[in-house]
Structure 1
């Protein structure tokens, strides 16, 4: 059965009721907005082996920074981020079984609009005509990116705003959340991210989320280096991984070394309590760059340094808002000034990693993004892309997101199942 998905199978989608936007990539055409959008993350159904959940982000949006205000155009400001349940069929097709709309604790549908307070990105929301939205914020709004489906029927979702890690019941109603904001009373159970996570780089928050097989520990990975203490230190190959024990609230924190400066880690999934798969990518399309970087690595935390375990001494200081400091510098500052060799001299080591599959080499992977990983069994891995609702922008001009412009092939959420892999757990 899985062989039928090896070359990629599109997820079903509808056409969003947004029309008459000229296609900047192909004169005379209009953009087709696909909805869809189930490409931010994938999580297996806990009991149905051929079903999976997939997550949307904050909805069809694009950069609109003409006024220097970090603006975003929201083509559908009322769009509600959602979880879709999908079924693999023997004939090689994918069926969408249902959608779960994400809601605040009162049952109101949330939007993908920016937050105003905790984790606010300061982005200004515009409509498709470039007019500032009258109601352009949503304190419960999520730019959802990470998804975990639990055995009890509930979900955890991580996002790029706070970052927030939000617990939803089976119907999509928020029941709790975890973030780095002490004053946020929505944290019902009191779980708290290390406060330095509030210094995430804008639009590069907690892209990946998973849970250990015993369902006890959430594991999140940031997309890129954080703006810690400020944005001048945000472009390096250092990424943070955080682990939150849901039973005792204990937090651990590890470092991941990317293969390139400012690459993106966009998915994580657990193999065991110590080993995980992560996706790492650049932003290129295969059609533009046959050496594009889209890879999946196996990582192991057992010999890595837990930053939270380091005690204060003459070199180290645990700062409440900036995390571990080395000689007064944040980890982000220190790796830029002294390199990973400098960290190693202080006994700080990243997670071990080894290549599982190069998606460009194996599939000639055509998409710019890989954002979902699903371990089906010890030999089969499913990979899902984010299609950005089938459109993008260049220098402020909206355009259809083509994989092949001449053949009119538009990017769509596509599931690939890769076989003959070694996804076994190391003893």
Structure 2
């Protein structure tokens, strides 16, 4: 039976199409992409999150977990299938009304399952079949399950958000809270997870899910990273063949709340777990593309070798169109930012193009860099939108290939993040929850007036189920950076 007829029959009976056959996907005409195999990640019912809260009737089967915050290729199965590691973020949460506390107005998030522990998932992809979540483990620390709730005020992980339950009443903060956004593993089998709260880097036992070590700004990581935008810490993490751990900030740093919209670059951080040594490098985002430079976001990061990486840069462009661009990044000639400032002593994030030609090292010696600050070099490979990508966010990226030989690989994998398939709405004139206020008792307000006819609602979101794509390039990765 022709593939198109099979698809039509399945659709007629309401059956999910989990893979688009090669005959139907029409091999790409993109200069760098040969073709794409598209899957919808299948989640076993036992992996759904039990939810019997205020909006439980909207989710009779429970909440579908979202394993799209990070992706890494593990190995080939004996049947030539593909095995991946994936990770959830902090759990099912939604936008919420602003908190009215006296004269202060605070941001908030509703956590539908407040005790949810972020999880690592193991995914198997049958090339001619489906992509399935096989199993998962929950993260814990000191033998105790952690949650995705933010750490409290005054901590490096405080996101500036007040956690609320589905009744809009405040929840407890979690001093061990994590919001995972990337995953990789080292030769010893340890998992390395990046977090966008702290930002933190967590070393994790792959068998138990136990966090065995946590790095944070000033505690193993450069202190300047604490100046991240709220909840935009580390977005991607990669382990190089030599064992270095490399992480990248999701967005520009916001030094003294002044630079998020003007900074010319995002920071890449390298950590040597053996010596504790760190370095930082500048990744130049596509500034002119965005209305504000702070709109540039990273999706994920994966190492090819010690100095070459792939990453996803994404966000809404100036023309209001979404973009999800995969770049090849080379830091071999990039300048270590450690101890560098502008000539006036300010952080490099304050500098515009001309300013970055003059930097000062930690010994207060001004150094004129004729070509400006040496940032990472980047080469665009493709925009997922050009290949038919529909989800808003692509937050997992992996190279499919043999360990130690990833430069010879010509296949990539990308996974989407659908935020657990939930979305909040208001039934008032404005449907955006952030257009309203709520007090500490969970009572909705419009400015100072109590509302009785407006309700906060949560239901299924419009984002599609988790997408996982296998993308075949026209040539090995090494050939892209060899000729550029």
Normalised to the residue count of structure 1, the TM-score between the two structures is 0.82
Residue matched to 1:375: 399
| Offset at residue 340 of structure 1 (A) | 5.7
Alignment-derived partner of residue 460 in structure 2:
400
- Residue 421 to residue 270, structure 1, CA distance change in 2 (3 Å): farther
Do the aligned residues in 2 keep the contact of 1:242 with 1:251 (CA within 8 Å)? Answer: yes
Q: Provide the secondary structure at the position in 2 that maps to 1:419.
A: strand
**TM superposition shift of 1:20:** 8.1
- 1:411 Cα deviation (Å)? 1.7
Check whether the contact 2:138–2:209 (CA below 8 A) recurs between aligned residues: yes
Contact kept in structure 2, 1:59 and 1:74, CA below 8 Å: yes
Contact kept? 1:221, 1:242, Cα under 8 Å? yes
In structure 1, the partner of 2:380 is 355
For residues 90-121 of structure 1, the C-alpha deviation after alignment (integer angstroms, 9 at most, x for no partner) is: 4321222211110102x111110111234222
**TM-score when normalising by structure 2:** 0.73
- Counting matched residue pairs gives 382
Whether 1:303 aligns to 2:333 is yes
Give the greater-gyration-radius structure (CA).
Answer: 2
- Gap change, CA 1:324 and 1:399, over 3 Å in 2: farther
Q: Helix, strand or coil: the match of 1:307? A: coil
Q: Is the 8 A contact 2:89 2:148 kept in 1?
A: yes
- The 8 Å contact of residues 64 and 72 in structure 1, kept in 2 or not, is answered as yes
Trace 1:146-225 onto structure 2 (pairs within 5 A): 146-170=182-206, 171-182=208-219, 192-214=220-242, 216-225=243-252
Given the superposition, is the C-alpha separation of residues 173 and 22 from structure 1 closer, same or farther in structure 2, using an over 3 Å criterion? closer
Q: CA deviation at 1:21?
A: 6.8
C-alpha displacement of 1:175: 1.0
Aligned to 2:246, the other structure's residue is in SS state strand
Supply the distance in 1 between the matched residues of 2:86 and 2:126 (Cα, whole angstroms): 16
| Alpha-carbon distance in 2 for matches of 1:195, 1:99 | 33
- 1:249 maps to 276
User: Is the partner of 1:335 in helix, strand or coil?
Assistant: coil
Change (3 A) 1:140 1:421: farther
Residues 21 and 31 of structure 1 are in contact (CA less than 8 Å); yes or no, is this contact kept in structure 2?
no
Shift of residue 17, structure 1, vs aligned partner: 3.6
Alignment equivalent of 1:235, drawn from 239, 261, 264: 261
Q: How much has 1:333 moved relative to structure 2?
A: 1.2
Cross-structure match for 1:94? 131
Higher strand share: 2
1:13-412 matches, within 5 Å, as 13=43, 14=45, 15-18=48-51, 30=58, 34-45=63-74, 48=77, 50-67=82-99, 68-105=105-142, 107-116=143-152, 117-133=155-171, 136-170=172-206, 171-182=208-219, 192-214=220-242, 216-228=243-255, 230-236=256-262, 237-259=264-286, 260=290, 261=293, 262-283=295-316, 291-308=321-338, 318=339, 324-335=341-352, 338=354, 345=370, 347-362=372-387, 364-377=388-401, 378-393=409-424, 395-396=432-433, 398=458, 400-402=460-462, 410-412=463-465
For structure 1, the residue ranges without an aligned partner over 5 or more in a row are 24-28, 183-191, 309-317, 403-409
Q: CA deviation at 1:387?
A: 0.6
Instruction: Give unpaired runs (5+ residues) of structure 2.
Output: 1-18, 26-35, 100-104, 360-368, 402-408, 425-430, 434-455
Q: 2:466 aligns with which of 405, 413, 421?
A: 413
Question: Closer, same or farther in 2 for the Cα pair 1:339/1:22, shift >3 Å?
Answer: farther
